[in-house]
Each structure stands twice: as structure tokens, then as C-alpha cells.
């Protein structure tokens, strides 16, 4: 218990620190234009310091927050003496000339399209964490990409991107955590079977029993056993990833369950399992609802068919929006310090951040529970036997 509070407190302190370092990097790239605008301030300070002073003057919280909740090609950890320290991740591209693999360090931490990475005889550029084929020459802002004159979107062609991004790397970390947790728990059961569970098994058992009895058995019905592994996987996957997203320093910090692609895959699994296991009764109620006038039946069939898709869609949106909203709130509270530009706001900011972080701990478990519960409910509805 005490350890948990220590961790929380540490998290509350570390968050503003992480935000400071990142605010500097994201602003550093727009440094050139800022210096030109804030001529007055630049005059007041000598040399290199002028740049850092004026870049803090136009702190843009929107940009910082979006940068934090988005995926990226490198895993940025901390800024130390104006140097970015991070883990370069592999960039895997399927280009016109086949597979190209290189390290994201070739971009030199750049995501503004100003550094060209050459690999496999081709040139690539990282513009807002999307990888494009680089143009031959930079435009007037030094960016190696051309904008479409009509739509103002990037006109450069894109290779297919299969990179191990920050989110994917974080996914690997959480998978390792889950595997270690459960393999060790399973071993401990094999070793002292019959005895009371000890150690990790003792921690995991109540949760597993909760998912099995309260979620699966109560909502799916007599054939629940087949689906317990699926529900357990969904529950622990979402929960661990939610918690990892709340850790502000290195192994955590990625926004995995707040990424709509991740939640889409989870919802797709729920969709497939529900509809594959749907029995005759379920399909009859969707396509030709019994006990209604014939004229209403096709109308209701349309509504029900739309309903098949809106259920997993709402699963996807719910998890994504809840987790992303939590991250945005925490980051907004942290940026209060930089918006008011005084250290006296920081007690308010840290306390509010602490409060929201504790709330997010609850939300992390609650969203995992709701996703699992609704999956079980949909499954139960699809497998219900006839009872008229």
C-alpha cells in the first residue's frame, strides 16, 4: 500500500519534468521562426540563450499534448543538457523497390521533415511521424516535402509503413509483463497444488476468479468455460496497457489503449467471436424477428443489422476516448505551469494532476472491466437459447 502511494507521488513529480523536456523539443523545431518574431526579447539576451528564452515564450500546449498522445518512430526518454536521449526503433518500410529496414536514428529525432534518411538507395523523410519519400530539394521552410497547391496536404508519395513504433514497442513490453506474471503464477500452481496460492498466484487468483464468475458465468450462460481465456486476455491486456500508459517515464508513457487502431483490433475480435458463436436463435432475431407483423420485419432487420456493427464500434470508441481523454487532462493540467509562466501555479497543477492520476487508476481498471463485461454480454446475447 505504502509503496503504491510512493510510486504515485513519484509519478506526480516526474510528470511535469517529462513535460518540460518535451515542450522544449517540440518547440525547438519552430525555434527559427520564433526568434524572428520576438526580436525584442532576443535583444535582451546574449547569444544562444535568446533562442531558449523566446521559445518558452510561445509554449503551445495543443502541440505538446498532441505530440504526447500520438505514436512516434523513436522512443524519446529525456532531454539532458539540450541533447535528446531516446531509444531508436526500427523503421520497416515496404517501398516501390521492396523491403527497406533502417533505424529511426537516421532521422536525428526530427519529425518536421528536415532530415533526409537514406536507406536502400532511397531517400525518406519523417513529417509529423508519417514517412514520405523525400523531395529532391527542400522547400522554403527547409522541409523535404511538397504541399499540394489546392488541398494543402503533403503531395509526396508514401511507402507502406510497418515500423516498430513506440506503441508497438510498448505493446511488446506489456506482453512480456503479462507473460511473466501468468507463467510464474501457473508454475506456482503446478508446484504447490492443493495448497493456498502464494506470491504472484495469490495476486492473480482473485482477479481471474472475478472475471470467470462475475463476468463470464453471469453473462454468457452455461457454455461460458470456452470463453474464459479470451475474456481474461482482453481484461488483462487492456488493464496492463492502461496502467502502462499512466506511468510517465520510460517503460510506460506510450498511449497504447488510447490508440484507435489498437482498440479497433480488440473490438474486431469481440465482433468476430460474437457473430461466429451466434446461434440460430440470434440470427433469427436479427433477420426475421418472430412475433411481429410481416411489414415491420424487414424494417427491424435493417436496424438489427446496423446494431451488429454499432456494438463493437462503441466498444472501440469508448476505450479510445476514455484513455485519450485521461491523457489529455493530465497533460493540460501540467501545461498550466507553462501557460501561466510562474512556478507558483505548480502546487495547484501537481495536486490536480495527482488527483486526476488517481482517478485514472480507477478508470484504467473500470474500462478494462467494462470492455470485458460488454464483450461477455454480447456473447451471452448471441448464445441465448430459445425460451418461449
Instruction: Assess 212 for contact with another protein (CB under 8 A).
Output: no
Q: Which is nearer to another protein, 115 or 318 (CB)?
A: 318
How far apart (Å, rounded) are the C-alpha atoms in residues 129 and 113? 9
Q: Which is nearer to another protein, 18 or 270 (CB)?
A: 270
How far apart (Å, rounded) are the C-alpha atoms in residues 56 and 19? 13
Grid coordinates belonging to 261: 487502431
Applying CB under 8 A, among 269, 369, 381, 384 the residue interacting with another protein is 369
Q: Which stretch binds another protein (CB under 8 A): 4-12, 63-71, 228-236, 373-381?
A: 373-381
Instruction: Assess 377 for contact with another protein (CB under 8 A).
Output: yes
Residues 321-360 as x/- pattern, contact with another protein by CB under 8 A: xx--------------------------------------
Applying CB under 8 A, among 66, 78, 116, 317 the residue interacting with another protein is 317
Candidates 115, 15, 122; CA nearest to 73 is: 115
Instruction: Assess 314 for contact with another protein (CB under 8 A).
Output: yes
Q: Which stretch binds another protein (CB under 8 A): 13-21, 184-192, 300-308, 314-322?
A: 314-322
Grid coordinates belonging to 214: 462475475
How far apart (Å, rounded) are the C-alpha atoms in residues 59 and 45? 19
- Size of the chain, expressed as the number of residues it contains: 388
Whether the CB-CB separation of 219 and 227 falls below 8 Å is answered with: no
Instruction: Assess 304 for contact with another protein (CB under 8 A).
Output: no
Question: Rg of the Cα trace of the chain?
Answer: 25
How far apart (Å, rounded) are the C-alpha atoms in residues 100 and 104? 12
Query: CB 301 → another protein: shortest distance, Å?
Result: 22
Whether the CB-CB separation of 169 and 146 falls below 8 Å is answered with: no
Q: Which is nearer to another protein, 70 or 177 (CB)?
A: 70
Instruction: Assess 78 for contact with another protein (CB under 8 A).
Output: no
List b or e across 355-366, with b for residues whose CB sees 16 or more CB atoms inside 10 angstroms: ebbeebbebbbe
Residues making contact with another protein (CB under 8 A): 214, 218, 314, 317-318, 321-322, 366, 369-370, 373-374, 377
Amino acid at each position: 500500500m505504502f509503496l503504491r502511494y510512493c510510486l504515485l507521488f513519484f509519478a506526480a513529480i516526474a510528470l511535469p519534468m517529462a513535460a518540460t523536456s518535451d515542450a522544449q523539443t517540440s518547440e525547438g523545431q519552430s525555434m527559427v521562426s520564433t526568434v524572428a518574431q520576438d526580436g525584442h526579447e532576443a535583444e535582451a539576451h546574449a547569444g544562444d540563450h535568446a533562442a531558449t528564452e523566446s521559445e518558452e515564450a510561445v509554449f503551445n500546449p495543443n502541440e505538446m499534448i498532441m505530440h504526447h498522445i500520438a505514436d512516434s518512430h523513436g522512443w524519446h526518454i529525456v532531454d539532458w543538457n539540450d541533447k535528446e536521449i531516446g531509444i531508436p526503433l526500427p523503421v520497416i518500410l515496404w517501398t516501390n523497390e521492396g523491403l527497406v529496414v533502417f533505424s529511426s536514428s537516421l532521422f536525428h529525432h526530427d519529425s518536421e521533415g528536415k532530415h533526409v534518411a537514406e536507406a536502400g538507395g532511397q531517400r525518406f523523410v519523417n513529417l509529423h511521424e508519417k514517412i514520405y519519400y523525400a523531395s529532391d530539394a527542400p522547400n522554403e521552410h527547409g522541409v523535404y516535402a511538397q504541399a499540394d497547391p489546392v488541398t494543402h496536404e503533403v503531395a509526396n508519395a508514401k511507402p507502406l509503413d510497418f515500423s516498430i513504433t513506440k506503441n508497438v514497442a510498448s505493446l511488446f513490453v506489456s506482453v512480456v509483463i503479462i507473460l511473466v506474471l501468468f507463467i510464474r503464477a501457473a508454475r506456482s500452481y503446478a508446484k504447490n497444488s492443493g495448497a493456498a496460492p502464494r506470491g504472484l498466484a495469490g495476486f492473480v487468483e482473485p482477479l481471474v476468479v472475478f472475471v470467470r464468475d462475475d463476468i463470464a458465468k453471469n453473462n454468457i450462460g452455461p457454455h461460458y468455460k470456452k470463453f474464459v481465456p479470451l475474456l481474461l486476455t482482453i481484461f488483462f491486456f487492456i488493464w496492463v496497457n492502461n496502467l502502462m500508459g499512466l506511468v510517465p517515464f520510460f517503460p510506460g508513457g506510450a498511449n497504447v489503449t488510447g490508440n484507435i487502431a489498437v482498440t479497433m483490433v480488440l473490438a474486431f475480435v469481440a465482433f468476430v467471436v460474437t457473430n461466429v458463436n451466434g446461434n440460430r436463435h440470434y440470427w433469427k432475431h436479427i433477420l426475421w424477428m418472430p412475433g411481429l407483423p410481416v411489414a415491420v420485419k424487414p424494417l427491424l432487420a435493417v436496424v438489427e443489422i446496423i446494431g451488429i456493427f454499432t456494438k463493437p464500434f462503441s466498444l472501440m470508441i469508448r476505450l479510445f476516448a476514455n484513455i485519450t481523454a485521461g491523457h489529455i487532462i493530465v497533460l493540460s493540467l501540467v501545461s498550466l505551469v507553462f501557460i501561466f509562466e510562474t512556478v507558483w501555479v505548480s502546487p495547484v497543477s501537481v495536486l490536480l494532476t495527482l488527483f486526476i492520476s488517481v482517478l485514472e487508476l480507477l478508470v484504467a481498471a473500470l474500462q478494462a472491466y467494462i470492455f470485458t463485461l460488454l464483450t461477455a454480454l454480447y456473447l451471452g446475447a448471441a448464445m441465448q437459447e430459445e425460451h418461449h
